[in-house]
Amino acid sequence: MKKYFLPSLLIGLVLFTYQFISWAAGNFHGSAQRYTAQQDTIQELLTGLNLEDGRYMIPSVSPDVPQEEAQKQWESYMGKPWMFVTYHGAHEMSMGLNMLRGFLVDWISGLFIIIWLRGLGPLSLGKSILWMLGLGQIGFLYFTYTNHIWYPTFDLMASLLDSIVPFGIIGAINAWFWNKR
């Protein structure tokens, strides 16, 4: 149990610490959560619409519209501005609870990672880092980049770093301490 518990805890700490650096201390994702001086006007307008909590793609076609008409509407949107609006009726956040949940997810991820690494057997430093970089890139390419293809984001390079730096560190720690060749 100790051979999985402590390494998974350390991996969780690496992931959690890097996420803090990436999102807060270093603000690498700042381009995806920019400030606008018109925020009060936008907030008043959206609040007055009595939207349900959710994410809205604007413009979009009503699901009740027949297919032919929907196609015409989509064509009319080409070349015009578009956006996603993520709406929450009330700003409620428990920083402590969110941090705890985030760390638990990182720890569980660490458990899966250490089980996977142990299954690979002894690895050299280079192979351990490459395996972990590969794992990070699978996540990045499958989730982040595929979504970016359809709905471009403004923090793609920060997300790429998120899939390289902590996973490279985990690969190095694995080769040096846990899974030596």
Range of the domain at 31: 2-35+94-178
User: Per the domain annotation, does 42 fall within a domain?
Assistant: no
User: Per the domain annotation, does 29 fall within a domain?
Assistant: yes
Peptide bond into 59 cis (omega under 30): yes
Separation between Cα atoms, residue 144 and residue 150, nearest integer Å: 10
User: Per the domain annotation, does 44 fall within a domain?
Assistant: no
- Per residue in 44-85, pLDDT (tens digit) is 999 999 999 999 999 999 999 999 999 999 999 999 999 999
Which sign does the torsion angle of CA 85, 91, 96, 98 carry? negative
Q: Tell me if 170 sits within 8 A of 11, measured CB to CB.
A: yes
Q: Tell me if 120 sits within 8 A of 179, measured CB to CB.
A: yes
pTM: 0.87
SS3 state at 80 = coil
User: Per the domain annotation, does 47 fall within a domain?
Assistant: no
User: Per the domain annotation, does 48 fall within a domain?
Assistant: no
Q: Which of 145, 117, 114 is nearest to 131 (CA)?
A: 117
User: Per the domain annotation, does 20 fall within a domain?
Assistant: yes
Q: Tell me if 102 sits within 8 A of 8, measured CB to CB.
A: no
User: Per the domain annotation, does 105 fall within a domain?
Assistant: yes
Inform me whether the pLDDT recorded for 180 exceeds 80: no
How crowded is residue 87: how many other Cβ atoms within 10 Å of its Cβ? 13
- Per residue in 113-166, pLDDT (tens digit) is 999 999 999 999 999 999 999 999 999 999 999 999 999 999 999 999 999 999
Separation between Cα atoms, residue 171 and residue 133, nearest integer Å: 8
User: Per the domain annotation, does 56 fall within a domain?
Assistant: no
Counted domains in the chain: 1
